[in-house]
Structure 1
Amino acid sequence: MAYLSEPVRVGDVLGDTFGFLRAQWRPLLLISAPSLLAAVALAVVQKSLGLQEKPELVFTSITGSLASSVSLITLAIAHLCFVGTLFFTLERQRGHQTGVAEALRMGVRLFLPMLGVRFLVYFLSIMAAVLLYVPGLMVYTMLWVADAAYVAERPGIRAALSRSRNLTRGSRWRVFLLMLMVFVAAALASGLQTAAQRISEWAGPFTSVFAGMLWAILVPVLAATLYRHLKTAREGDEAADIAAVF
């Protein structure tokens, strides 16, 4: 396998990411629609049960069981839609006319193995962070495209992590910068949610849902695009495939 001659360019990755979002926003919204509806349902349940004002109610038997059940279902649907969005992005960037239904079916099919990949990424990053914060960030940076590598190549759960580590070698500062941009965007969204909460008691939860929707689309599209750039830098030019979707 050839080693890349230079790191990926942050501007190119961002440009292709937002270009893809502009070109494919309709199907992306449809793929993420179940996650949005689940998040709205969760916000309504939490508001109806008074969990926004009194979070300690989650520890009561009936209220806690109901809230926990809805939360778990919401997380499961969000994970399914994340995988579907990742698959859709990778396939469309290859020039394949993948549809919304096929993307959601793939989300169901890859639900459990992708859960394993994401668990290992977070577990290893947290374990490294227990030693020192910086090693945790380094591990997370190395493994940031493990999700995309698994969906694109199906190499196995552990092999997907190794694949991400190999692909990011030589570009990890650039990958870290992209990751930092995502964290900053998340912080800004959290600040917007807090401000909206002060305006209206319902504005906060629904602002959170909207921000979560953007996050659910942006992160997998960015991860898929970064994976394609990293793979191209090491193994060949796929720029024509990516450009074909715009």
Structure 2
Amino acid sequence: MRASRESPSIVTCNEREPDMRGEILTFDAATRMVAIRGDDGNRYLFPATAIHAGLTPRRGQQVDFSPTEDGAPGEIFILQSGEGAAASTQGGFDLGRVISRTFAAIRDNWLVLLVASIVLVGLPSTLSAVGQTFFWSGDSTGTGVVFVVLGSLLYLIGFFMLQGTAVKAAVDGFNGKKTGLSDALGVGVRAFFPLLGLGILASLGMGFAFVLLIVPGVILAVLWSVAAPAVVVEKRGVLESFQRSRDLTRGYRWNVFGLLVIYIILTWILGAAIAAVSFAAGGTITGGSGPNLWVNLLTGPVVNVLSGVIASAGVASLYYELRSVKEGAGPESLAAVFD
């Protein structure tokens, strides 16, 4: 079956075609399928296992390929390899584009992200803040310690679930679709255990690295920056998601570091603004049992909620940018995993 150039078709690998050259259009790491546009104008779909020598396919690479007539995929020979040959139709990594998408995702899904952040991040932060009041009042029963530890654990779990929620909302937004709160939260809930394991290991690893030296902790934060979206979108295991994040950030780690610095600065500015409001309302800049204890009690959770919205949308946008630039994945292919 052969379609004309005016009406290109998608041809699977069970149709016998002569050897020809083509260009890789997309590679979806979740489904492990490669789309190639042949010199005849048709689109051909192959499993990634058809690629000779196990090279990583990337958009824009020129290939030789030949399907076989018995239904098994023939080999694909990549003529260009390496990061330099993988230019996306969007160009290289664009920091401004990631930031723009971050705030577009927040604008389009602000209610979903805000409510999810209040539930998953705000309530655990409030629990920790209540525990701190026991310290300020001189309580010696250990109740404050229990509240703080429990709140911190729930915050850790909630933050990674929030990333899963934000990925769903952001990807739908990139496709021009609206996401309901229950649908978005459902994604985070379904990935609860992998995200929990990811959060615990990431916190232990980065915490230990920061205790030793600041630099190793920053390096791990960059390397693992998109591990949570890999769990949610690609349904990978915990350790596999860490490696997937390392692979996606390779070649763009200074860009990712710059993005993290920008988000941290935004969080500091946000925290300073809320602290100023707290001080004006009768609280104290540093917290503690000031004249208006409830003001201090609310300041930390509010900062965490708003920071969680920005961070989760930023991670989703960063993941989308890396998948687009390195693998040519579009919003449709990312959204398909949620169908």
Give the structure-1-normalised TM-score: 0.80
Corresponding residue number in structure 2 for 1:174: 255
Q: Which runs of 5+ in 1 are unaligned?
A: none
Matching residue of 2:170: 89
Q: What SS does the corresponding residue of 2:93 show, helix, strand or coil?
A: coil
- How many angstroms does 1:163 deviate by? 0.9
Identity of aligned residues (%): 26
RMSD: 3.1
> Which digits, 9 at most, give the CA deviation of each residue in 1:192-245, with x for residues without a partner?
454445332333332322221111211111101110100000111527899xxx
Q: Greater CA deviation, 132-141 or 155-164?
A: 132-141
Secondary structure at 1:136's aligned position in 2? Answer: helix
Alignment counterpart, residue 23 of structure 1, candidates 92, 97, 108:
108
Amino acid at match of 1:31: A
**Is the counterpart of residue 143 in structure 1 residue 224 in structure 2?**
yes
Change (3 A) 1:91 1:36: same
Corresponding position of 2:306: 214
1:155 alignment partner, SS class: coil
Q: Name which of structure 1's ranges 82-91 and 140-149 shifts more when overlaid on structure 2.
A: 82-91
Deviates more, 1:144-153 or 1:4-13: 4-13
Q: 2:182 aligns with which of 101, 109, 116?
A: 101
Contact 2:120 2:155 in 1 (8 A): yes
Q: Relative to 1, partners in 2 of residues 1:50 and 1:124: Cα closer, same or farther, differing over 3 Å?
A: closer
Q: Alpha-carbon deviations, 1:138-197, whole Å to 9, x = none? A: 222111111111111012111111111111111111100111112222333443454445
SS at match of 1:60: coil
The change in CA–CA distance for 1:17 and 1:105 in structure 2 (over 3 A counts) is same
In the alignment, is residue 12 of structure 1 matched against residue 12 of structure 2? no
Q: Which runs of 5+ in 2 are unaligned?
A: 1-56, 59-82, 283-291, 335-339
Partner of 1:188: 269
Query: In 1, Cα distance between the equivalents of 2:227 and 2:313?
Result: 14
Q: Name the amino acid aligned to 1:160.
A: S
- Greater share of strand residues, 1 or 2? 2
Distance 1:146 1:197, change over 3 A: same
Is residue 238 of structure 1 aligned with residue 319 of structure 2?
A: no
| Distance change in 2, residues 1:171/1:35 (3 Å) | same
- In 1, Cα distance between the equivalents of 2:148 and 2:211? 30
Query: Do the aligned partners of residues 189 and 123 (structure 1) sit closer, same or farther apart at CA in structure 2, a change above 3 Å counting?
Result: same
Structure 2 distance, partners of 1:67, 1:24, is 31
Q: Contact 1:32/1:217 (CA < 8 Å) preserved in 2?
A: yes
TM-score (norm 2): 0.60
- The structure-2 alpha-carbon separation of the partners of 1:110 and 1:212, relative to structure 1 and needing over 3 Å to count, comes to same
Choose 190-199 or 7-16, whichever is displaced more.
190-199
